[in-house]
Amino acid sequence: MDRPEFKRKSWLSELKSLTQEYCYDFIDNKSGSLLKVFGFPIIAGIAIKVIAGKNMFVNYEDTRSACFIIMCAAVWCGLFNSISAVVSERANIKQRAATPNFYYISYLGSRLIVHFLICLIQSLILSLVFRIEPHRYARGGLVLNSTLLNFAITIFLLIYVADILGLAISSIVKKDSWASACAPYILIAELILSGTLFKLGPAIKPFSTIMESRFGMEALGSIARLNDLQLKIQKTVPNVPHEPEKIYDATAEHLLRMWAYLGIFVIVETIIAYFFIRNISKDTRGK
C-alpha cells in the first residue's frame, strides 16, 4: 500500500499560524508585560509634560530637552519589547526546526508583525503628549501637513528600529540574562552617541552613524523647528545670537533623509536577526 504523500505547509500559511499563536501568547500569558509595554509610554509622556510643560515649542532649551526625552523613551520602549523575545525560545526554535513545517522566515516574520503592532500602539500613546498640553507647535508639517503626524511617524520608526535591534541581540545571545545585561549598555551608547548630551569629537563622531538615536533626534528637532525657537536668555538679552544647526534643518528633504536612514536600520537589523535565528538549530551553546 502506498504511503500518502506528505504536503508541506506554505511559508505564508505558517506565518499566519505563528502570528496568531504569538499574539495569543502575548495577550494570555504575558499580562504583566502588557503593563510594562504600554505603561512606560504613558509614564514617559507625563515626564515630558512635567519637564517641558507649556514651554515646549516656546524656547529652544525646553523643546530640545523634550525631544531628547521622547527619543530616549522610544529607544527604551523598543529595546525592552524584544530583548528577550528570541533567546527565551531557543529550545522551542530547535524543536520546531526539526519539523518539516517550520520556516525561519515565517518565525521572524510573525515577530516582526506583532512587534510592529505593539510599537504602533506605543508610538500613538507617546504622541499623545502633544495633545495633553495645548502646545503651540508649527501647524504646517514638513512632509505631511500635520506636524503631529510627522512626530508620530518619527516616534514609531524610533521604537520599531530599537525593537528589531532587540530581536537581533536576542537572536545572538544564548541566555536571557545575557540579553538583559546587554540592554543598559546599548541604551547608554545610544544616548551618549546621539550627540545631544555631549558634543562629539572627531574621533567619536563616526560611531554616531550607527546609532538610531542620532537620526531620530535630528528628525524630532527638525519637526519641532528648533532652529526657529528662541534661547531662554534671548528673552532678557535679545541680541544674543542663536546660530542655526544644520542637523535640525526644517525641510522635507532633511526629514525624509532621516526617515530613510531609520528604514535602513530596520532592513539591516532584520537581516542580522534572520541570519542568527537560522543558526540557532545548529548552535550548541544553548545546550
- Residues 231-259: pLDDT tens digits? 888 778 877 877 888 889 989 999 999 99
Q: Is residue 12 included in any domain, yes or no?
A: no
Domain count, the chain: 1
Beta carbons of 135 and 57 less than 8 angstroms apart? yes
Q: Is residue 4 included in any domain, yes or no?
A: no
Long-range contacts from 152-156, C-beta under 8 angstroms, 24+ separation: 152/123, 152/124, 152/127, 153/259, 154/216, 154/219, 154/220, 154/223, 154/255, 154/258, 154/259, 155/70, 155/74, 155/123, 155/126, 155/127, 155/220, 156/119, 156/120, 156/123
Q: Identify the domain containing residue 100 by its residue range.
A: 32-286
65 half-sphere exposure, CB direction, 13 A CA radius: 16
* Distance, CA of 61 to CA of 53 (rounded, Å): 12
Q: Is residue 8 included in any domain, yes or no?
A: no
pTM equals 0.90
- Residues 60-99: pLDDT tens digits? 888 888 888 889 889 999 998 889 889 988 988 988 888 8
Q: Is residue 100 included in any domain, yes or no?
A: yes
Q: Is residue 179 included in any domain, yes or no?
A: yes
Q: Is residue 15 included in any domain, yes or no?
A: no
- Residues 143-200: pLDDT tens digits? 888 888 999 999 999 999 999 999 999 999 988 888 888 888 998 888 888 877 767 7
